[in-house]
Protein backbone atom coordinates (compact mmCIF):
# COMPACT_ATOMS: atom_id res chain seq x y z
CA UNK A 1 0.00 0.00 0.00
CA UNK A 2 1.52 3.39 -0.99
CA UNK A 3 2.58 5.63 1.87
CA UNK A 4 0.50 8.73 2.49
CA UNK A 5 2.08 12.18 1.80
CA UNK A 6 2.08 12.94 5.50
CA UNK A 7 3.93 9.70 6.24
CA UNK A 8 6.54 10.34 3.49
CA UNK A 9 7.31 13.88 4.65
CA UNK A 10 9.59 12.95 7.61
CA UNK A 11 11.52 10.55 5.37
CA UNK A 12 11.96 13.27 2.70
CA UNK A 13 13.21 15.78 5.29
CA UNK A 14 15.64 13.17 6.62
CA UNK A 15 17.04 12.52 3.14
CA UNK A 16 17.44 16.23 2.36
CA UNK A 17 19.19 16.76 5.70
CA UNK A 18 21.52 13.84 5.04
CA UNK A 19 22.38 15.24 1.60
CA UNK A 20 23.24 18.63 3.07
CA UNK A 21 25.46 17.11 5.75
CA UNK A 22 27.29 15.05 3.12
CA UNK A 23 28.46 18.15 1.24
CA UNK A 24 32.09 18.78 2.33
CA UNK A 25 32.15 22.29 0.86
CA UNK A 26 30.28 23.88 3.75
CA UNK A 27 31.48 23.91 7.36
CA UNK A 28 28.85 22.82 9.92
CA UNK A 29 26.34 25.52 10.72
CA UNK A 30 26.76 27.56 7.49
CA UNK A 31 23.96 28.08 5.02
CA UNK A 32 24.23 27.50 1.30
CA UNK A 33 24.67 31.23 0.64
CA UNK A 34 27.31 31.84 3.29
CA UNK A 35 30.74 33.30 2.74
CA UNK A 36 33.66 31.01 3.50
CA UNK A 37 37.41 31.21 3.99
CA UNK A 38 39.99 28.97 2.31
CA UNK A 39 43.51 29.21 3.70
CA UNK A 40 46.43 28.06 1.58
CA UNK A 41 49.71 26.67 2.84
CA UNK A 42 53.05 26.23 1.07
CA UNK A 43 52.28 22.53 0.58
CA UNK A 44 49.45 20.96 -1.42
CA UNK A 45 46.29 20.26 0.64
CA UNK A 46 45.33 16.66 1.39
CA UNK A 47 41.80 17.32 0.12
CA UNK A 48 40.80 19.70 -2.68
CA UNK A 49 38.22 22.20 -1.36
CA UNK A 50 34.75 21.96 -2.86
CA UNK A 51 32.74 25.09 -3.60
CA UNK A 52 29.01 24.93 -4.29
CA UNK A 53 27.76 26.90 -7.29
CA UNK A 54 24.30 27.36 -8.73
CA UNK A 55 22.96 28.23 -12.19
CA UNK A 56 22.20 31.93 -12.43
CA UNK A 57 23.96 32.73 -9.15
CA UNK A 58 27.33 34.54 -8.92
CA UNK A 59 30.16 33.05 -6.90
CA UNK A 60 33.15 35.30 -6.22
CA UNK A 61 36.67 34.27 -5.23
CA UNK A 62 38.51 37.08 -3.39
CA UNK A 63 42.30 36.81 -3.09
CA UNK A 64 44.07 38.25 -0.07
CA UNK A 65 47.53 39.84 -0.29
CA UNK A 66 50.02 38.90 -1.60
CA UNK A 67 48.09 36.55 -3.91
CA UNK A 68 47.62 37.84 -7.47
CA UNK A 69 45.98 35.98 -10.35
CA UNK A 70 48.10 35.13 -13.38
CA UNK A 71 45.79 32.65 -15.11
CA UNK A 72 42.53 30.76 -14.53
CA UNK A 73 41.97 27.18 -15.69
CA UNK A 74 38.25 26.37 -15.58
CA UNK A 75 36.78 23.11 -16.81
CA UNK A 76 34.01 23.60 -19.43
CA UNK A 77 34.41 27.35 -19.26
CA UNK A 78 32.06 27.73 -22.23
CA UNK A 79 29.20 26.51 -20.05
CA UNK A 80 29.44 29.58 -17.81
CA UNK A 81 27.41 32.68 -18.63
CA UNK A 82 30.14 34.91 -17.23
CA UNK A 83 33.72 34.52 -16.02
CA UNK A 84 35.38 37.73 -14.82
CA UNK A 85 39.08 37.78 -13.95
CA UNK A 86 40.80 40.57 -12.05
CA UNK A 87 44.19 40.67 -10.34
CA UNK A 88 42.70 39.79 -6.95
CA UNK A 89 39.25 38.46 -7.83
CA UNK A 90 37.45 35.82 -9.92
CA UNK A 91 33.70 35.78 -10.49
CA UNK A 92 31.84 32.87 -12.12
CA UNK A 93 28.19 32.68 -13.20
CA UNK A 94 27.12 29.16 -14.22
CA UNK A 95 24.49 28.78 -16.92
CA UNK A 96 21.58 26.32 -16.94
CA UNK A 97 23.70 23.95 -19.02
CA UNK A 98 25.01 22.37 -15.82
CA UNK A 99 22.80 19.95 -13.93
CA UNK A 100 22.82 19.56 -10.17
CA UNK A 101 25.63 17.32 -8.99
CA UNK A 102 28.02 18.22 -11.84
CA UNK A 103 31.60 18.59 -10.66
CA UNK A 104 34.02 20.98 -12.44
CA UNK A 105 37.71 21.56 -11.81
CA UNK A 106 39.04 25.06 -11.15
CA UNK A 107 42.70 26.01 -10.83
CA UNK A 108 43.85 29.50 -9.87
CA UNK A 109 47.44 30.12 -10.98
CA UNK A 110 49.22 32.95 -9.18
CA UNK A 111 51.93 35.27 -10.47
CA UNK A 112 55.40 33.80 -10.83
CA UNK A 113 57.27 33.37 -7.58
CA UNK A 114 54.19 33.00 -5.36
CA UNK A 115 54.20 30.19 -2.79
CA UNK A 116 52.04 28.21 -3.40
CA UNK A 117 52.07 28.61 -7.20
CA UNK A 118 48.38 27.68 -7.59
CA UNK A 119 45.21 26.64 -5.79
CA UNK A 120 42.78 23.90 -6.89
CA UNK A 121 39.04 23.76 -6.27
CA UNK A 122 36.14 21.54 -7.28
CA UNK A 123 33.00 23.44 -8.24
CA UNK A 124 29.91 21.41 -7.38
CA UNK A 125 26.66 22.44 -9.08
CA UNK A 126 23.99 22.55 -6.39
CA UNK A 127 20.65 24.05 -5.49
CA UNK A 128 22.51 26.53 -3.29
CA UNK A 129 25.63 28.57 -3.95
CA UNK A 130 28.44 30.00 -1.91
CA UNK A 131 28.38 33.64 -2.88
CA UNK A 132 31.88 34.54 -1.69
CA UNK A 133 35.04 32.50 -1.14
CA UNK A 134 37.98 34.30 0.46
CA UNK A 135 41.33 32.78 -0.49
CA UNK A 136 44.17 33.72 1.86
CA UNK A 137 47.55 32.42 2.91
CA UNK A 138 47.54 30.45 6.12
CA UNK A 139 48.90 32.48 9.06
CA UNK A 140 52.62 31.87 9.32
CA UNK A 141 53.01 30.77 5.68
CA UNK A 142 56.27 32.27 4.41
CA UNK A 143 55.93 34.37 1.29
CA UNK A 144 59.34 36.02 1.32
CA UNK A 145 60.07 34.10 -1.91
CA UNK A 146 57.23 35.97 -3.57
CA UNK A 147 58.41 39.29 -2.20
CA UNK A 148 62.00 38.66 -3.30
CA UNK A 149 60.91 37.55 -6.76
CA UNK A 150 58.67 40.59 -7.13
CA UNK A 151 61.51 42.89 -6.03
CA UNK A 152 63.86 41.21 -8.50
CA UNK A 153 61.33 41.60 -11.32
CA UNK A 154 60.91 45.30 -10.55
CA UNK A 155 64.67 45.78 -10.37
CA UNK A 156 65.16 43.89 -13.64
CA UNK A 157 62.55 46.05 -15.38
CA UNK A 158 64.23 49.19 -14.08
CA UNK A 159 67.65 47.96 -15.20
CA UNK A 160 66.34 47.12 -18.67
CA UNK A 161 64.72 50.53 -18.95
CA UNK A 162 67.92 52.23 -17.80
CA UNK A 163 70.03 50.22 -20.24
CA UNK A 164 67.64 51.11 -23.05
CA UNK A 165 67.86 54.80 -22.17
CA UNK A 166 71.65 54.60 -22.07
CA UNK A 167 71.74 52.71 -25.36
CA UNK A 168 69.74 55.45 -27.06
CA UNK A 169 72.06 58.20 -25.84
CA UNK A 170 74.82 59.27 -28.25
CA UNK A 171 78.44 58.70 -27.24
CA UNK A 172 81.45 61.01 -27.13
CA UNK A 173 81.19 64.78 -27.37
CA UNK A 174 77.78 64.52 -29.03
CA UNK A 175 76.53 62.67 -25.95
CA UNK A 176 77.86 65.36 -23.61
CA UNK A 177 76.23 68.09 -25.67
CA UNK A 178 72.95 66.17 -26.06
CA UNK A 179 72.64 65.56 -22.32
CA UNK A 180 73.61 69.15 -21.43
CA UNK A 181 76.83 68.14 -19.68
CA UNK A 182 78.89 70.57 -21.77
CA UNK A 183 77.95 74.13 -22.73
CA UNK A 184 79.77 76.97 -24.49
CA UNK A 185 82.31 77.21 -21.68
CA UNK A 186 83.49 73.69 -22.55
CA UNK A 187 85.35 71.34 -20.24
CA UNK A 188 87.44 72.81 -17.40
CA UNK A 189 90.67 71.11 -16.32
CA UNK A 190 93.09 71.49 -13.42
CA UNK A 191 96.52 69.87 -13.02
CA UNK A 192 97.20 68.51 -9.55
CA UNK A 193 100.70 67.97 -8.22
CA UNK A 194 101.85 65.74 -5.40
CA UNK A 195 102.84 67.72 -2.31
CA UNK A 196 101.04 70.82 -3.61
CA UNK A 197 97.46 70.14 -4.74
CA UNK A 198 97.22 66.67 -3.17
CA UNK A 199 98.98 64.43 -0.68
CA UNK A 200 99.58 60.72 -1.32
CA UNK A 201 100.06 58.19 1.46
CA UNK A 202 103.16 55.96 1.37
CA UNK A 203 103.22 52.17 1.37
CA UNK A 204 100.29 51.66 -1.01
CA UNK A 205 100.45 49.31 -4.04
CA UNK A 206 99.74 52.11 -6.53
CA UNK A 207 101.85 55.24 -6.77
CA UNK A 208 100.19 58.30 -8.31
CA UNK A 209 102.67 60.15 -10.54
CA UNK A 210 100.29 62.77 -11.86
CA UNK A 211 96.64 63.77 -11.47
CA UNK A 212 94.28 66.01 -13.45
CA UNK A 213 90.73 66.95 -12.48
CA UNK A 214 88.05 67.86 -15.00
CA UNK A 215 84.59 69.35 -14.63
CA UNK A 216 81.63 69.95 -16.90
CA UNK A 217 78.03 70.76 -16.02
CA UNK A 218 77.17 68.45 -13.11
CA UNK A 219 80.04 66.04 -13.75
CA UNK A 220 83.61 65.73 -12.54
CA UNK A 221 86.42 63.33 -13.37
CA UNK A 222 89.79 62.63 -11.84
CA UNK A 223 92.45 61.20 -14.16
CA UNK A 224 95.39 59.50 -12.43
CA UNK A 225 98.65 58.35 -13.96
CA UNK A 226 99.75 55.48 -11.72
CA UNK A 227 102.50 52.88 -11.29
CA UNK A 228 101.70 49.44 -9.93
CA UNK A 229 104.64 48.97 -7.56
CA UNK A 230 103.26 45.73 -6.08
CA UNK A 231 104.05 42.18 -7.15
CA UNK A 232 100.43 41.37 -8.02
CA UNK A 233 97.93 42.49 -10.67
CA UNK A 234 95.66 45.28 -9.50
CA UNK A 235 92.01 45.71 -10.57
CA UNK A 236 89.83 48.68 -9.65
CA UNK A 237 86.66 47.69 -7.78
CA UNK A 238 85.42 51.01 -6.39
CA UNK A 239 86.20 54.55 -5.35
CA UNK A 240 85.00 57.21 -2.94
CA UNK A 241 85.34 61.01 -2.93
CA UNK A 242 84.61 62.43 0.52
CA UNK A 243 84.53 66.16 1.30
CA UNK A 244 85.94 67.85 4.38
CA UNK A 245 82.48 67.92 5.97
CA UNK A 246 81.88 64.23 5.28
CA UNK A 247 79.82 64.77 2.13
CA UNK A 248 80.25 61.99 -0.40
CA UNK A 249 80.13 62.57 -4.12
CA UNK A 250 78.18 60.03 -6.14
CA UNK A 251 80.81 58.02 -8.03
CA UNK A 252 79.47 56.93 -11.41
CA UNK A 253 82.28 54.73 -12.69
CA UNK A 254 85.90 53.71 -12.30
CA UNK A 255 87.95 52.86 -15.38
CA UNK A 256 89.60 50.62 -16.48
CA UNK A 257 88.01 47.38 -15.34
CA UNK A 258 90.97 45.33 -16.63
CA UNK A 259 93.83 44.57 -14.20
CA UNK A 260 97.07 46.56 -14.16
CA UNK A 261 100.03 44.19 -14.42
CA UNK A 262 102.72 44.16 -11.70
CA UNK A 263 105.37 46.75 -12.50
CA UNK A 264 103.14 48.63 -14.96
CA UNK A 265 104.02 52.34 -15.13
CA UNK A 266 102.14 55.47 -16.11
CA UNK A 267 98.83 53.69 -16.54
CA UNK A 268 95.71 55.81 -16.62
CA UNK A 269 92.90 55.37 -14.06
CA UNK A 270 89.73 57.51 -14.31
CA UNK A 271 87.20 58.15 -11.55
CA UNK A 272 83.96 59.91 -12.64
CA UNK A 273 81.44 61.42 -10.23
CA UNK A 274 78.54 63.84 -10.04
CA UNK A 275 79.85 67.26 -8.97
CA UNK A 276 77.80 70.44 -8.73
CA UNK A 277 79.33 73.89 -9.02
CA UNK A 278 78.94 74.41 -5.27
CA UNK A 279 80.56 71.07 -4.44
CA UNK A 280 83.48 71.83 -6.77
CA UNK A 281 84.57 74.62 -4.40
CA UNK A 282 85.50 72.08 -1.73
CA UNK A 283 88.43 69.74 -1.12
CA UNK A 284 88.06 65.96 -1.23
CA UNK A 285 89.86 62.79 -0.22
CA UNK A 286 89.98 60.10 -2.88
CA UNK A 287 90.04 56.42 -1.91
CA UNK A 288 90.51 53.80 -4.63
CA UNK A 289 90.45 50.07 -3.90
CA UNK A 290 90.23 46.61 -5.34
CA UNK A 291 87.84 43.86 -4.23
CA UNK A 292 88.21 42.78 -0.60
CA UNK A 293 91.23 44.93 0.17
CA UNK A 294 91.92 48.26 1.91
CA UNK A 295 92.39 51.37 -0.26
CA UNK A 296 95.21 51.06 -2.78
CA UNK A 297 95.23 54.83 -3.42
CA UNK A 298 94.51 57.58 -0.90
CA UNK A 299 94.82 61.17 -2.05
CA UNK A 300 94.02 64.07 0.24
CA UNK A 301 93.26 67.62 -0.91
CA UNK A 302 91.76 66.80 -4.32
CA UNK A 303 90.00 69.79 -5.94
CA UNK A 304 87.98 70.40 -9.10
CA UNK A 305 88.13 73.45 -11.41
Provide the domain limits for residue 230.
Answer: 188-302
Boundary residue ending a domain (122, 139, 156): 139
Q: Which residues of 235-259 are buried (b: 16+ CB within 10 A; e: fewer)?
A: ebeebbbeeeeeeebebeebeeeee
Inter-residue contact 150 to 110 (CB < 8 Å): no
pLDDT digits (tens, 9 = 90+) for 235-277: 988 999 999 888 999 999 898 888 999 999 999 899 999 999 8
Residue 177 lies in a domain: no
For the domain that residue 192 is a member of, what is the CATH number?
A: 2.60.40.770
Tell me how many domains the chain contains.
2
Inter-residue contact 169 to 178 (CB < 8 Å): yes
Q: Looking at residue 82, what is its pLDDT?
A: 93
Label residue 12 by pLDDT band (50, 70, 90).
very low
pLDDT tops 90 at residue 199:
no
Euclidean distance between CA atoms 300 and 302, whole angstroms: 6
pLDDT digits (tens, 9 = 90+) for 111-153: 887 888 899 999 999 998 999 999 988 776 555 455 555 667 7
Task: Return phi, psi of residue 172, to 5°.
Answer: 65, -150
**123 and 211 both lie in a single domain:** no
Q: Is residue 48 exposed (0-12), middle (13-18) or buried (19+ Cβ within 10 Å)?
A: middle
Residue 15 lies in a domain: no
Residue 225 lies in a domain: yes
pLDDT tops 80 at residue 4:
no
| DSSP bridge partners of 105 | 122
Label residue 53 by pLDDT band (50, 70, 90).
very high
Residue 155 lies in a domain: no
Euclidean distance between CA atoms 296 and 76, whole angstroms: 69
Residue 146 lies in a domain: no
Amino acid sequence: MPASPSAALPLLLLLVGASAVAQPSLPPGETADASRLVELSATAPKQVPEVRIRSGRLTTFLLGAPLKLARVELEEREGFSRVTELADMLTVLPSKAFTVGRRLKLRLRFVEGTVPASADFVLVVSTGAEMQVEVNLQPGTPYSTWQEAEAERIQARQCRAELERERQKPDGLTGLLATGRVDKTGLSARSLYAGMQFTRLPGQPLTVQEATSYRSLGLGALVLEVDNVSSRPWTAAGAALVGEGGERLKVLRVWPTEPLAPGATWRRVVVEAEVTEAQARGRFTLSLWQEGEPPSVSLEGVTFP
